[in-house]
Structure 1
Amino acid sequence: MPGRYEGEPPGSTEDDDFFGGAGADDGYAEEEVTPPARRKRRGLRIAIVSLVTVALLGVGVVAGYVAFLNWKVSNNVTHAQLLPDSPIRGEDSEVTPSAPERPVSAGDAMNILVIGSDSRDTSSDRGRSDVMVLMHISDERDRVDLIHFPRDYFVQIPGSERKNKLNASYAFGGAPLLVETLQPLIGVPVDHVAVTDFESFQALTDSVGGVDVNVREASPGFEVGMTHMDGETGLRFVRERYNLSQGDISRGQRQQEFIKAVMLNVLTRETFTNPARLANVVDAATANLTVDDALKVSDMRDLGWALRNLRGDDIHFVTAPWSGIGSDDLAGSIVIPHNAQLDTLREHLQSDTMEDYSDEVSPRSGFGG
């Protein structure tokens, strides 16, 4: 990841400074006089630095508040070896990492693997990951595609003699083996990894006062239509799969609906102009967050600045292509990948043309063939 972006905030040379250092407020004084009409047009921006300045804090207060948020993020985020940079012990044999080459056509597009698990402990009993989402950030930093890979996706795991569910790779060899398993499917290197747990998921939801989620398929306790959910309710909503028409696929779609609802609640002026609410959101989002050793806090800040023009309709959700749901003697219930459509997805990731990607082959109802 480049250390700087065009037009990024001053003070971004500090490696571990999320908000750009003690002098960061000086670089944003012009935001205080930006016409209201212009501010309104900016919509849902992720530029935390500039939006913090818009808050009714005054220039003198901003410096102290930014320092507080910087301290909060730096102390919350944990770093660990999540990328495969050394031999990995697989289920049956050792695996030598081998990442695909970054295609020239991809430019500076970035791929971040987000893992949601019951446990954030990356060094002991990991269990299996319940959420696996590839965040593809375009070269121009004007689009984000969140690609959900079902936990039961039936794949070949390096170091295993037989195919298994995708999330079994996390149980066998942690995040590094999951990355090593995923990269051949997507044809591009995974640049960074972030692991969070469901406690953080619940806390983030509560920090914005709950969210309104569009329930597209009813299940016990949830009727079709818009429903307001707090963190505990949301956790039950996204974990359900046995009462849904397409099982793990439907659960993934629920997770996408919920993620979108949370993002739309977080990325609002109400959040960024309310110091107490912003502090709660930042704390909840980072309290149980583990990232790879190469992803510095300053890189997270710089990426946020590069995405400052992102709006709600610039965020898109995709499910990894599949052809049906079956069973395997070893793995049990599985989601069968649609290999031809997976090749198409891979091509669009490699060329950074996700805006042209569409999936007309994955089943829209039932369990496919």
Structure 2
Amino acid sequence: MEKNMKRSKEKKSKKKIWLWIVGSLLAIFLIFIGTAYYTIQKTMNKINTPLIESAGDENKEQKTVTKKDPFSVLMLGVDERKNDSGRSDTMIVITVNPEKQTMKMLSIPRDTRTEIIGHDSVDKINHAYAFGGVPMAVDTVEHFLDIPIDYYVFINMDGFLQIIDTIGGVTIDNDMDLTYDSYHYPKGEITLDGENALIFSRIRYEDPRGDFGRQIRQRQIIEAVLKKASSTQSLLKATDMLDVVGDNVRMNFTMKDLIQLQSMYKKMDRNIDQLSFKEGTGKTIDHIWYYIPEEAELGKVQSELKAHLQ
């Protein structure tokens, strides 16, 4: 009888211990979720910036990311310096078709000569940001490609290196042996920290392909960052990553949009079609060098993006 009572008390004691352990873990988990939610909301309040039409004061009509409707994104990598508004060193347009589960990614050469919408001038396309910020850059790209731009993502390129360091670097397949000052990037698979990734993405004159080679490397790094940032390992560093993102990124995606995007990207990361301009020519006008797109190729790119968005 006493033995049975003793066993019963031991079972109850063990049960209490396990309940306490489970309860403690649950409490810690809830605290983490609560803290993460607060941090995420704080970051989103900081980075979420509606797009304002450069020609007026009204907000550009805001779409909502769904699993059905195609949409487009303009990624602006801006090199900002002290006492300078900066120029969009990187301009990449991404179109997403959720039903087809495909993405198209187009790098626009920064020296492309085109009409700057809202500035009454013809200039290099990357000057649009310097003249009128994100709204003018969006309007100019819309006119150049003849497609609507639904969303934008602005990234301070110096801050980009901090994002890469936070997720533990990125690994890419480098298609050409390159050297820039003391930096050497051998051909093949290489792993880059933030500083090396930034230099790697900016190399231009050391690559015989010039700006086109640089566009390839920029797309590779962006793809690698997207893939790494969506991994479980990186999600554990979410709080640190959010702090860096909050200081260096601006966008008009909402929290709901980002959650939808995250689930979409896992299904599309292997279906990214890389587009680029190859037929244009360089031309010096009034002592300034421009990239002049070939009209037939530009028309083909416009048609392909339009078809993808339909």
Give the whole-Å Cα distance in 2 for the aligned partners of 1:135 and 1:59. Answer: 40
SS in structure 2 of the partner of residue 213 of structure 1 = strand
Q: 1:222 aligns with which of 153, 172, 185?
A: 185
SS in structure 1 of the partner of residue 283 of structure 2 = strand
- Report the equivalent of 2:304: 348
Q: Post-superposition shift, 1:286?
A: 4.1
Structure label with greater radius of gyration: 2
1:193 aligns with 2:152: yes
1:303 aligns with 2:261: yes
Gaps of 5+ in 1: 1-56, 89-95, 355-369
Q: Deviations over 1:69-97 (max 9, x none)?
A: 33223222324454426439xxxxxxx99
Q: 2:275 aligns with which of 310, 313, 318?
A: 318
Q: 2:69 aligns with which of 108, 119, 143?
A: 108
SS in structure 1 of the partner of residue 88 of structure 2 = coil
Give the whole-Å Cα distance in 1 for the aligned partners of 2:272 and 2:282. Answer: 28
Give the whole-Å Cα distance in 2 for the aligned partners of 1:247 and 1:68. Answer: 46
SS in structure 2 of the partner of residue 136 of structure 1 = strand
| TM-score computed with the length of structure 2 as normaliser | 0.77
Q: Post-superposition shift, 1:162?
A: 4.6
Matched ranges for 1:23-38 at <5 A: none
1:165 aligns with 2:124: yes
Give the whole-Å Cα distance in 2 for the aligned partners of 1:120 and 1:317. Answer: 30
Q: 1:84 aligns with which of 53, 78, 98?
A: 53
Higher alpha-carbon deviation: 68-77 or 251-260? 68-77
Q: Post-superposition shift, 1:246?
A: 2.2
| Equivalent residues of 1:120, 1:197 under 8 A apart | no
Q: Name the aligned partner's letter for residue 234 of structure 1.
A: A
- Report the equivalent of 1:238: 201
Q: Deviations over 1:216-261 (max 9, x none)?
A: 2233222222222110111111111121112222111111122222
Of Structure 1 and Structure 2, the greater strand share is in 2
Gaps of 5+ in 2: 1-23
- Report the equivalent of 1:64: 31
Of Structure 1 and Structure 2, the greater helix share is in 2
Q: Post-superposition shift, 1:138?
A: 0.9
Alignment CA distance shift 1:192-1:161 (3 Å): closer
- Report the equivalent of 1:361: none
| Equivalent residues of 1:69, 1:279 under 8 A apart | yes
Alignment CA distance shift 1:61-1:109 (3 Å): farther
Q: Post-superposition shift, 1:191?
A: 0.9
Q: Post-superposition shift, 1:137?
A: 1.4
Q: Post-superposition shift, 1:155?
A: 1.1
Q: Post-superposition shift, 1:299?
A: 2.8
Q: Post-superposition shift, 1:303?
A: 3.3
Matched ranges for 1:261-272 at <5 A: 261-272=224-235
Alignment CA distance shift 1:69-1:200 (3 Å): farther
Q: Post-superposition shift, 1:321?
A: 5.3
Q: Aligned-residue CA RMSD in angstroms? A: 3.2
SS in structure 2 of the partner of residue 132 of structure 1 = strand
Count residues with an aligned counterpart.
276
Alignment CA distance shift 1:82-1:207 (3 Å): same
Alignment CA distance shift 1:67-1:136 (3 Å): farther
Alignment CA distance shift 1:326-1:279 (3 Å): same
